[in-house]
Amino acid sequence: MKYMLLIWNRPGFMEELTEEERNAIFGEVDVIMKELTESGELVGGDALAHPSQTRTARPAAGGGTEITDGPFVESKEQFAGYLMVDCETPERAAEIAASWPDVKHGFGVLEVRAVMDQAGTEM
């Protein structure tokens, strides 16, 4: 079963950390990615650019569409990246999410979302 782990954190929190703290976090990410690669659970993942670089396409007030600068949701936490994993149980997906440094050190949250399957059984 595939799950997308959506990483939400406070933009710029890394800037407030010391170099050792930052290195420690990157080290933790490397450890998790290595483990997920070796177990054959990692399907993919990416980090996203700073939210200030975001453009949002939306319906325009007077009909039609418009492109605006900035993210869709104005909130303290922003969508920062994702991991796609394929694992045996939803509990395992949640366990991976809970091990992510953002969660462990209080910088953000991870949402665990099941990915829809193209297959189905007749009801």
Partner 1 sequence: MTSPVVEDLLRTLAPQVLGVLVRRHGQFYACEDAVQEALLAAATQWPAQGVPDHPRSWLVTVATRRLTDEWRSERARRDREVAVAVREPAYAAVAPPADEEPPAADDTLKLLFLCCHPALGSSAQVALTLRAVGGLSTAEIARAYLVPEPTMSQRIRRAKQKIEAAGARFVLPSPADRDERLRAVLHVLYLVFNEGYTASSGAELHRAELTGEAIRLTRELRRLLPDDGEAAGLLALMLLTDAHRAARTGPDGELIPLSEQDRDRWDRATIEEGVALVTEALTWSPPGPYQVQAAIAAVHAEAPSAAETDWPQIVALYRVLARIAPNPMVTLNQAAAVAMVDGPRAGLALLAPLDADERTAGHHRLAAVRAHLLELADDRDDARAAYLAAARATTSLPERRYLEVQAARLATDR
Least CB distance to partner 1 at residue 32 (A): 15
The DSSP call for residue 73 is S
39 vs 75 by CB, closer to partner 1: 39
Question: Which residues are at the interface with partner 1 (CB under 8 A)?
Answer: 1-2, 37-44, 86, 88, 114-123
4 vs 25 by CB, closer to partner 1: 4
Q: How far is CA 123 from CA 63, 107, 110, 118, 120, in A?
A: 41, 43, 33, 15, 9
Structure tokens at 76: 């303290």
State the chain's maximal CA–CA distance in angstroms: 56
The continuous run of DSSP H or E covering 80 comes out as strand 78-86
74 vs 122 by CB, closer to partner 1: 122
Least CB distance to partner 1 at residue 119 (A): 4
